[in-house]
Each structure stands twice: as structure tokens, then as C-alpha cells.
């Protein structure tokens, strides 16, 4: 079995120091370090990490499979073997990065920077990553129209981060939040009063309000606050 792993790693051009999937079948899950379904920290039924459990997150982090913040940027850069664009760096910093599959909060198999569905491919994380970034960049341009081109590069990155996480649309209806329209109006008018209205509308969000009360130091709220400061020059 060990020889088979080495052969597959060589064929895939994988650095053996990085976690890569040899057999993506969830029942026969096996990574480059020899972890299999049922090993400590893995769910025996699925063979992948359950990130709803702190023990699984901890094991993945300790083994170098999962990183957050600037460490996630370094992990992605080493995994892809190329430099990352400023937009990609901010997304990875905010999303975190994993080189092995895990179950997200909705028990959906995920990898990379929150890549699910068509972007989920344990044997080719990079392609899914690049397609996801490209598609979300197009979505940003569509949602913010000419405003995307009017704001500077740093604000464009913040808008991409918000769209990627789903912070521009109501998750139940799929409709754009009102802050999006107010922000576009504020950029077009250049009036401080319009930007303040967009800012207040941005923070009139139940999820954000609940986080400020229940988990004020959460990574999600830190991300939202950073984007708020970039877009509005202030945060809550």
C-alpha cells in the first residue's frame, strides 16, 4: 500500500510534505500521510473531517491540512506552486485553506477555500479554486455594475470577499441586500451622507448582530469588520 501511495503521489506531482488526496472516495479516503476512514479525528462513515467538531479542526491544523489567515495564504501558494494575486490572497486569508476534504456547517463536502459542488475536486484543488474566483469576480461586476470599476483595487477585493461569502444576497430569497444599492448610490454621488446610510444598512444584518453579542471575536465577524473598514472607512 505504501508503494502505491508513493507512485500515485509521484504521478500527481505532489510534494509529499503536502496533504493530497490519493483516493477521493469518501468510504476509502486515504491521504498522502496514510490517514484512512475511521482513524482518529475522522468520521468513520464518511472518511472526511467534520469541521463542525473542534477535534477534527485541530487535527487537520496540526497535520498541516488546514490553515487560516496568512498561514492559509502560504499553504495555498505552496500547494499551487505559483504566486497569488492580491484578490486571491485576501479571499484565502478570509476563507482559510484546506488541502483535504471536510464537512462544512451544512455537512457539505468542501475543500480549498470553501469549494463545494462544481468547484469540489480533491484531486485538482487549483482548478476549482481558479474557477470559483473567476465566477465570483464576474458576479461582483454584475452586482455592482460600473461601481466596481470606479472603486480602487483594495475595495474591489473587499467586494469580492463579501460576494464570495454570500454577504450581498439574502440566503433565503436570493435577493440583493439593500446595502448594495445604497453603496452603489453613495459611490456615484460621492456624498458622505449616502455612504453613512449604506454603512448603517450594511450592519443592519441579523447574523452580524448575533455575532457581536454571542461571538464578538469570531473569525467571521473579524472578516466582516475588515471589509466594512475598507469599504466605509469604519466598522462596528
150 and 204 assigned to the same domain? yes
157 and 95 assigned to the same domain? no
80 and 192 assigned to the same domain? no
pLDDT number for residue 123: 81
Residue 170 resides in a domain:
yes
79 and 114 assigned to the same domain? yes
Q: Which of 168, 33, 26 is nearest to 111 (CA)?
A: 26
Residue 128 resides in a domain:
no
182 and 226 assigned to the same domain? yes
The CA distance from 36 to 4, in Å, is 14
94 and 159 assigned to the same domain? no
Q: Which regions of the chain are under pLDDT 50?
A: 1-46
CB-based contacts of 112, cutoff 8 Å, min separation 6 = 76, 97, 98, 99, 119, 125, 128, 129, 132
83 and 188 assigned to the same domain? no
Q: Show the domain range for 195.
A: 134-232
CB-based contacts of 105, cutoff 8 Å, min separation 6 = 51, 52
pLDDT number for residue 47: 59
Residue 105 resides in a domain:
yes
pLDDT number for residue 40: 45
Among residues 61, 89, 123, the one where a domain terminates is: 123
118 and 138 assigned to the same domain? no
Residue 90 resides in a domain:
yes
Count up the domains in the chain and report the number.
Answer: 2
Among residues 76, 102, 123, the one where a domain terminates is: 123
The helix (run of H) or strand (run of E) holding residue 132 is helix 125-144
pLDDT number for residue 32: 39
Residue 129 resides in a domain:
no
59 and 81 assigned to the same domain? yes
The CA distance from 44 to 58, in Å, is 17
Residue 99 resides in a domain:
yes
Residue 176 resides in a domain:
yes
Amino acid at each position: 500500500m505504501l508503494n502505491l501511495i508513493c507512485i500515485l503521489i509521484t504521478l500527481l506531482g505532489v510534494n509529499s510534505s503536502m496533504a493530497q488526496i490519493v483516493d477521493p472516495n469518501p468510504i476509502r479516503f486515504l491521504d498522502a500521510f496514510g490517514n484512512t476512514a475511521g482513524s482518529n479525528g475522522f468520521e468513520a462513515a464518511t472518511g472526511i473531517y467534520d469541521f463542525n467538531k473542534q477535534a477534527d479542526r485541530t487535527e487537520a491544523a496540526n497535520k498541516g491540512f488546514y490553515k487560516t489567515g496568512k498561514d492559509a495564504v502560504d499553504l495555498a501558494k505552496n500547494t499551487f506552486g505559483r504566486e497569488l494575486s492580491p484578490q486571491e490572497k485576501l479571499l484565502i486569508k478570509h476563507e482559510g485553506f484546506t488541502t483535504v476534504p471536510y464537512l462544512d456547517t451544512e455537512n457539505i463536502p468542501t475543500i480549498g477555500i470553501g469549494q463545494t459542488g462544481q468547484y469540489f475536486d480533491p484531486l485538482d484543488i487549483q482548478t476549482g479554486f481558479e474557477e470559483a474566483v473567476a465566477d465570483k469576480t464576474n458576479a461582483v461586476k454584475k452586482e455592482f455594475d460600473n461601481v466596481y470599476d470606479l472603486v480602487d483595487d483594495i475595495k474591489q477585493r473587499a467586494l469580492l470577499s463579501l460576494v464570495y461569502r454570500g454577504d450581498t444576497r439574502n440566503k433565503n430569497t436570493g435577493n440583493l441586500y439593500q446595502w448594495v444599492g445604497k453603496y452603489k448610490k453613495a459611490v456615484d454621488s460621492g456624498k458622505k451622507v449616502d455612504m453613512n446610510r449604506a454603512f448603517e444598512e450594511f450592519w443592519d444584518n441579523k447574523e452580524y448582530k448575533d455575532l457581536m453579542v454571542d461571538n464578538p471575536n469570531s473569525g467571521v465577524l473579524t472578516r466582516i469588520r475588515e471589509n466594512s473598514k475598507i469599504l466605509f472607512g469604519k466598522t462596528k
